[in-house]
Structure 1
Amino acid sequence: MKLLKKKHKPLHINDITIVDDDKLKKAITAAALGNAMEWFDFGVYGFLAITLGKIFFPGANPSIQIIASLATFAVPFLVRPLGGIFFGILGDKYGRQKILSITIVIMSISTFAIGLIPGYNSIGILAPIFLLICKLAQGFSVGGEYSGAAIFVAEYAPDRKRGFLGSWLDFGSIAGFVLGAGVVVILSSIIGNDNLVSWGWRIPFFLALPLGFVGIYLRHQLEETPAFQKHIDTMESDSKKELQQPPKLSVKEVATKYSKSFMTCIGLVLAMNITYYVLLTYMPNYLSGRLGYSEDHGLLIIIAIMVGMLFVQPFIGLTSDKIGRRPFIFAGSIGLLLLSYPAFWLIQSNTIGLIFVGLLILTVSLNCFVGVTASILPALFPTNVRYSALAISFNVSIIIAGFTPAFVAWLVSATNNSYMPAFYLMLVSLIGLATACTMPETANKPLRGATPTASDKEEAKEILSQHFETIEQKVEEIDETIAELEKKRQSLIDQHPKLD
């Protein structure tokens, strides 16, 4: 309870954290590379779904092979909340840097191991079982990866640049996806489809190991985030003893104690990731399996779209620091609601230019979500439980999002309606709109429960000055309210004979 007294002390220039520019660049690079590692696997797995279906589920018909392959992609999302709780508790206890070093090790090894699994024709049912085990290990580690990386960037970033710097986290995601997809396309064109099915599919998974080594090295060189370190330094001795015990935070406690933040996180994650998986994981199979395009043809179109996303991503993050995050959530949601059906009409046109335009429409909506989500989510929870609460909230909702490719593939197969993905995205847009209406604006504000963070001394002075101006304005508003209440009070007293 004594810690609360600090909140009532006047904010001093020394209370504002000034971030070292070199450390900030290293933090962004290391966090983004881990995300790239995660999405490299998603890109490879999504773009090889048809091939992997033939290898691990050879007895099924082509439609069932795709659904089974995508379902294997989705099942690990069931264990992500467990990984989120596990790594979240450790991250709030031991710090962000140590846990992020562990998650990238598990991701690298489990992705590499997929490339070692013999096919179904060699070991039978053990093949898909081993594949599932590797995917479960990935899911467990990823449960703490994205949340931890987003927190790491947010706690390092100055308040006025958090949107721009946070956007580079998902820049890494998209870059990893492009790299994974590019490797598949180049490999397929060099060795041919027969060799790809025979042995070439293993190569992209083997590449995860050297990428992981680079990520481990970069993360090992990092220092703890300023916000978490400040949280530790300011705790009194009794509180430090309590810190050695893992915070007892369950899904129920997050959903009740931080209910508004919990629902905001779920809404954002569903809107962003369902759109993400429809466009970047399911769409290659939709183009080839449903519309009859060659696999390479569909992959090249998606890769071109994703390269465009890379250039738009930082711009959206930068702009959100100027006008706020909420406008982009509104824009992305409205785009999905009004333009998903026309986009899929264009995609089914059999004309390359129109297909590209249709995918571009969906991409712009996706970019609106992706460009700001990494800077919004960490600001929803206080420092002492930020990792645990965000990891739990994020991964509870990711369970639903993770089944998107398999579910949409089943919808299209069951209804024989090629517009089902569009209808699904239109439904998701309503979640995005509801979230945008209720979420708090976090742009240019300190993280919840933290003191402000600045890029340099001059910016710190500006922040302090604005802070005092805000307090003065609020005091004036309170004084005006009090004066109005006094008038009303006196008016009522004047109407009563016994009150004076």
Structure 2
Amino acid sequence: MLGIRRKKVKPMRLKDVTIIDDARLKKAITAAALGNAMEWFDFGVYGYVAAVLGKVFFPDASPGIQIIAALGTFSVPFIIRPLGGMFFGALGDKYGRQKILAITIILMTLSTFCIGLIPSYATIGFWAPVLLLIAKMVQGFSVGGEYTGASIFVAEYSPDRKRGFLGSWLDFGSLVGFVCGAGIVVLLTAILGQENFNDWGWRIPFFMALPLGLVGLYLRHALEETPAFQKHVDSLEQGSKQGLSEGPSVPFKEIARKHWRNLISCIGIVITTNVAYYMLLTYVPSYLTHNLHYSEDRGVLIIVVIMLAMLFVQPVMGLLSDKFGRRPFIIIGSTAMVLFSIPSFMLITHHSIVALFFGLLIQAVILNCLIGVMASTLPALFPTEVRYSALASTYNISILVAGITPTFTAWLVEATGNLYMPAWYLMVVGVIGVVTGITVRETANKPLFGDTPAASSLEEAKELLQEHHDGIEQRIEDIDEEIEALKNKRRDLVAQHPDIVK
């Protein structure tokens, strides 16, 4: 009988625990969050000026079709995002996270800036919406590697006990981007007047992407590679001596075979969270203006107030997830989507500012539960060597469903005349979230998949090492109990067979 060669496993020592430098950690979070804010600044602005863009680029259509066409241009780039995810994901696992994040912010900045340069349909006709679509597709390609890369960057820099809190600042940046985008729209409309804003003022927010992007690029270019990825590089150089020259060693087909459960969990979390995200922060502004006939200023102002409240709640959700786990927040948020979507839209459509505020607040709290833990949950589902490839590909394929939310919901409302269609849509997606929350593995206060523990201090490193050893001892005891139970079962079976020697 051939013997099975076992890989020699070295005992974990204190030197194996990564101690994260606090100054480097703050720089990493700031750079990642700023780039994410840049991404969502454009999405926020685009959502709030969708009605204006419909008039500028699709003037011959009816008002309802103009909204659908403008939001459709918003949604089409999501088809490109999986390509960007696969492209940047493979490069991120080959060359590192920091280099790819510098590239994606350049592409995002330039494509957003170019939207402000595109002449109107009245000036160049058919080419106006074509150029808008090209700019959005370039943007979608770059975004394919942006959020997943940023979340991985923060996760790999974060100590195990603080990953939820620190990861929540990534989507804090998203909300800041939305708030800034919406606030600028309100401010410019108030200063310029609605007519001037519709004529040329809508271009200004897109021009502002250039200086914001340059600041983000500067911060990202100055960053060092993540400790987790650097350890991976060192192990390749010392082990196989091939370094990273051949790229990721595991093809996506193999990733799907080995990690299919986590891939499904990733899909469920991404769909649930981002449908809620795009519904509230991209579709609802145009819903308030076009379907409920609020003035653009009032509808946007209410959303801004809601998002400001979300900013304060977001880090709290991440902090609590470090204490109670990620799964409870996914389950609570998804269950609330099922139970409270109809009541919230009853308030939203009540034609009362107070009722509208509380209806939107319900949706905001639901969204906070989900985005508060997403950035810390997803990177922990995959090992370092395939983390970027697996997460970027799966995330961006999944977000295709979320990306059509504004367009599909607008079409549903137009086709049926039912103002509660957004609520029914959210309820269906909420069911997906509940199932995902129940089945996903808990990642709080644990090392990233396949990585050694990470701590914020030497004292914490000693505690984590002791917890690791205690966990091994407990697992050994559990295995010993299983072995004893199997021995007893074997003894009982042997006793029933007359020809087996006891």
TM-score, scaled relative to structure 1: 0.97
* Counterpart residue identity of residue 63, structure 2: P
CA contact (8 A) 2:292 2:349 kept: yes
1:55 maps to which residue?
Answer: 56
Secondary structure of the 2:448 match is coil
2:219 maps to which residue?
Answer: 218
Stretches of structure 1 that go unaligned for 5 or more consecutive residues are none
1:169 maps to which residue?
Answer: 170
1 CA distance for matches of 2:302 and 2:339? Answer: 23
2:142 maps to which residue?
Answer: 141
2 CA distance for matches of 1:119 and 1:299? Answer: 24
**Identity of aligned pairs, percent?**
63
RMSD between superposed Cα atoms in Å: 1.4
- 1:75-131 per-residue CA deviation (whole Å, 9 max, x = no partner) reads 011110111111111111110001100100110011001000100000001100110
2:313 maps to which residue?
Answer: 312
2 CA distance for matches of 1:477 and 1:256? Answer: 28
Secondary structure of the 1:243 match is coil
Matches within 5 A, 1:282-361: 282-361=283-362
Secondary structure of the 1:292 match is coil
2:109 maps to which residue?
Answer: 108
2 CA distance for matches of 1:96 and 1:208? Answer: 23
1 CA distance for matches of 2:299 and 2:289? Answer: 6
* Counterpart residue identity of residue 75, structure 1: V
* Counterpart residue identity of residue 227, structure 2: P
2:378 maps to which residue?
Answer: 377
1:243 to partner: Cα distance: 2.1
2 CA distance for matches of 1:139 and 1:117? Answer: 18
2:446 maps to which residue?
Answer: 445
* Counterpart residue identity of residue 389, structure 1: A
Aligned pair in 2 of structure 1 residues 26, 242: CA closer, same or farther (>3 Å)? closer
2 CA distance for matches of 1:447 and 1:281? Answer: 32
2 CA distance for matches of 1:279 and 1:240? Answer: 50
1 CA distance for matches of 2:465 and 2:253? Answer: 38
2 CA distance for matches of 1:153 and 1:317? Answer: 13
1:216 to partner: Cα distance: 0.4
1:257 to partner: Cα distance: 3.5
Stretches of structure 2 that go unaligned for 5 or more consecutive residues are none
Secondary structure of the 2:236 match is coil
Secondary structure of the 2:246 match is coil
* Counterpart residue identity of residue 106, structure 1: L
CA contact (8 A) 2:86 2:393 kept: yes
1:386 maps to which residue?
Answer: 387
Secondary structure of the 1:445 match is coil
CA contact (8 A) 2:94 2:245 kept: yes
1:250 to partner: Cα distance: 6.1
In the alignment, is residue 13 of structure 1 matched against residue 22 of structure 2? no
1:364 maps to which residue?
Answer: 365
Aligned pair in 2 of structure 1 residues 268, 194: CA closer, same or farther (>3 Å)? same
* Counterpart residue identity of residue 257, structure 2: T
* Counterpart residue identity of residue 471, structure 1: I
1:351 to partner: Cα distance: 1.1
TM-score, scaled relative to structure 2: 0.97
2:123 maps to which residue?
Answer: 122
Give the total of aligned pairs. Answer: 497
Secondary structure of the 2:378 match is helix
Aligned pair in 2 of structure 1 residues 246, 425: CA closer, same or farther (>3 Å)? same
1:5 to partner: Cα distance: 3.5
* Counterpart residue identity of residue 445, structure 1: K
- 1:146-202 per-residue CA deviation (whole Å, 9 max, x = no partner) reads 010000000000011000000000000000010001000100011011001111001
CA contact (8 A) 1:249 1:388 kept: no
2 CA distance for matches of 1:433 and 1:332? Answer: 8
